[in-house]
Amino acid sequence: MFVIPRILAPAKPTKEKAIPYECGMDPASPANFAQIHIRYYVFAILFLIFDVEAVFLFPWAVMFMGSKLAFYAMLIFLAVLLFAIAYSWKKGALEWLK
């Protein structure tokens, strides 16, 4: 499905097709891939971790009075997350400049 159109399609590369904007205006700068600082990835991973925490926390909050086992399991889960954030804070992973 992906190979046949690639083989059969006419290939006519031109300079205009290679630039990122095909609106008729010349680009202001060359189209190089932007270098993103590695610190953004750290914050993105931390955001995902705490987003997953919220996914686990909301259903648990609905069934809060369900059982003591669920309560203790969630306490352990939150303790591990708090330990992880405290550890990363202490190691300086959350500092933008060192």
Q: How far is CA 1 from CA 8, 9, 10, 12, in A?
A: 12, 13, 17, 21
Superfamily name with CATH number, domain 3-91: NADH:ubiquinone/plastoquinone oxidoreductase, chain 3 (1.20.58.1610)
Contact 81, 49 (CB under 8 A): yes
The model's pTM is 0.52
Reported as a single tens digit per residue, the pLDDT across 38-89 is 778 888 888 888 888 888 888 877 777 777 887 888 889 889 989 988 998 8
DSSP per-residue codes, 27-73: PSS--PPPPPPHHHHHHHHHHHHHHHHHHHHHHHHHTTTS-HHHHHH
Spatial contact of 16 and 22, defined as CB atoms under 8 Å apart? yes
